[in-house]
């Protein structure tokens, strides 16, 4: 953003007439310049950055101002479109030699774009981790306001999924491999489909516990010569077939 200097060198006159003529010309130029400046500034206020001053001492200064504003507006629009629409998360506003408020605006836009890019990358990291079974990833970016709510929501999702996965793995190992019957998955504040999943896992563990204990009870009784014990639990599928086989066992040992 170049700054155009204004010529402030005072004129010299040979006589009073020259000075009078100069003042008349300067007044007429001032009147025309005043109208031109008012026209251009009014256009800038309306968002029209195409208007320019055609002549006069302030031509370069005012036109440079308009050009700088146009460049800033184009850069802000470019970054907003790239980051917000096209998903190009490394876009930056390039405004050469920007100073003062224009530098602050440019820096603010670039900071926004950079923070947005970092947030999207963190969300992508967590989502990709979940998709690949890695539930340890979290959003680390320091944010505030509504973005903080988003960060907490995504991280809470990852934490709940991690707790859920750990509990399901623990119960499956205890009941299915270690023979610790009666185990239950405990996932606090679980809702929706996750609540249904936990409930189904716990129901499966209870059914397996009942089935194994019923078989163990009847088998132990038979080994002791007690033919009065029966599998009392209600079973489905292959476990029901097994129950039927036990029902056909003799009620007493052969004489």
Residues 102-160 have pLDDT tens digits of 888 888 888 888 888 888 889 999 999 999 999 999 999 888 888 899 999 999 999 98
Per residue in 201-234, pLDDT (tens digit) is 888 888 888 777 777 777 787 788 777 776 665 6
What's the pLDDT at 149?
Answer: 93
Q: Kindly tell me if the per-residue pLDDT of 243 is higher than 90.
A: no
Element of type H or E holding 243: helix 237-247
**How far are the Cα atoms of 67, 131, 184, 191, 201 from residue 204, in angstroms, in the given order?**
72, 26, 10, 19, 5
Q: In the predicted model, what is the mean pLDDT of the chain?
A: 79
- 113, 91 contact by CB (below 8 A): yes
Is the pLDDT score of 57 beyond 70?
A: no
Rounded average pLDDT over 229-247: 62
Residues 6+ apart with CB under 8 A from 100: none
pLDDT score for 131: 93
Q: Residue ranges of the alpha helices (H) in the chain?
A: 16-45, 59-84, 100-131, 145-172, 192-223, 237-247
The pLDDT confidence band at residue 253, using thresholds 50, 70 and 90, is low
Predicted local distance difference test score (pLDDT) of residue 156? 92
15-54 tens-digit pLDDT? 777 766 666 666 566 666 778 788 888 888 888 888 887 7
Q: What is the DSSP string of 157-192?
A: HHHHHHHHHHHHHHHHIIIIIS--TT-----TT--H
């Amino acid at each position: 953003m170049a700054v155009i200097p204004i010529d402030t060198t005072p004129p010299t006159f040979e006589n009073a007439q020259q000075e009078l003529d100069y003042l008349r010309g300067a007044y007429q130029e001032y009147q025309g310049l005043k109208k031109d400046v008012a026209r251009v500034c009014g256009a800038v206020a309306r968002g029209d950055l195409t208007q320019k001053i055609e002549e006069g001492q302030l031509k370069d200064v005012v036109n440079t101002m308009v050009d700088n504003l146009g460049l800033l507006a184009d850069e802000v629009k470019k970054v907003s479109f790239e980051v917000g629409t096209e998903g190009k998360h490394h876009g930056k506003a390039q405004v050469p030699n920007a100073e003062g408020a224009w530098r602050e605006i440019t820096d603010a836009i670039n900071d926004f774009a950079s923070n947005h890019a970092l947030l999207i990358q963190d969300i992508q990291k967590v989502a990709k981790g979940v998709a690949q079974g890695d539930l340890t990833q979290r959003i680390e970016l320091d944010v505030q306001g509504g973005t903080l709510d988003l960060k907490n929501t995504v991280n809470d999702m990852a934490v709940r999924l991690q707790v859920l996965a750990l509990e399901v793995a623990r119960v499956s190992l205890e009941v299915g491999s270690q023979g610790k019957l009666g185990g239950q998955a405990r996932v606090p504040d679980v809702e929706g489909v996750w609540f249904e999943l936990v409930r189904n896992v716990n129901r499966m563990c209870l059914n397996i516990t009942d089935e194994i204990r019923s078989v163990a009870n009847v088998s132990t009784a038979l080994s002791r010569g007690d033919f009065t014990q029966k599998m009392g639990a209600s079973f489905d599928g292959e476990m029901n077939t097994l129950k039927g086989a036990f029902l056909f066992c003799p009620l007493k040992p052969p004489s």
